[in-house]
A and B are shown apart, each in its own frame.
Chain A
Amino acid sequence: GQQLNQSPQSMFIQEGEDVSMNCTSSSIFNTWLWYKQDPGEGPVLLIALYKAGELTSNGRLTAQFGITRKDSFLNISASIPSDVGIYFCAGGAQKLVFGQGTRLTINP
């Protein structure tokens, strides 16, 4: 079946640093979604991408839908403590497939 490889699995950074994570697949997707999960809560949608090559920002977050439709990245600029959490990518075609998540830890 369709699978997504999300990397890195975890990140330990200093407050103020920029963050970059990505998802790749051997399958083509029509939709890429990025979610964030805070401890004890469900994932919350950050950015939705619907077109190959699309670059979308949401505050300090920027995500792109890869030209090949097989990958996507998420960047966070100038990280702050509330950015801590687990970030998931999800690719949509016949169904929605989730990456394994990137756990972000920030040292103040």
Chain B
Amino acid sequence: EAQVTQNPRYLITVTGKKLTVTCSQNMNHEYMSWYRQDPGLGLRQIYYSMNVEVTDKGDVPEGYKVSRKEKRNFPLILESPSPNQTSLYFCASSLEGVGSPLHFGNGTRLTVT
């Protein structure tokens, strides 16, 4: 089954403790992206990747890192999480980027205390 898989689904952590949210897609998509969803703000892009070893900042990149060492994986790294990063995070992929529809994972709900 074609899908985008994120782990974990739920994560509660404390301020400053490094964490990684994994994302993997099995559709051989070139483009991958991370979004955060907050009430009233919709989906805001954190980082995106057009291809392996190519990553770029989205609209809200501060406090986040990503890497794209393999085509299928695009982990999101929070080196020192803060409470304002409490949010619902989605990974998404598409065949070619903006012109192709995005396929979303099921989300990771992160709480930073």
A92 touches B98 (CB 8 A): yes
Are A1 and B59 in contact, CB atoms less than 8 angstroms apart?
yes
Q: Which residues of A contact B58 (CB under 8 A)?
A: 95
| 8 Å CB interface, B13-71 against A | 35, 40-45, 48, 58-59
Q: With the chains together, A31 CA to B98 CA distance in Å? A: 8
Complex contact A41–B45 (CB within 8 A) = no
- What separation, in Å, do the CA atoms of A101 and B6 have in the docked complex? 23
* Contact count band on B: 20 to 34
Count of chain A residues with a beta carbon within 8 Å of a chain B beta carbon: 25
Residues of A within 8 A of B48 (CB): 95
A42 interface residue, CB < 8 Å from B? yes
- Please encode chain A, from 48 to 63, with 1 for each CB lying within 8 Å of some chain B CB and 0 for all others: 1010000000000000
Query: Considering residues B35, B45, B58, B101, which has the most beta carbons from chain A within 10 angstroms of its beta carbon?
Result: B101
- A41-B107, A42-B107 are known contacts. Are A98 and B98 too (CB-CB below 8 A)? no
Complex CA gap A42/B108 in Å reads 10
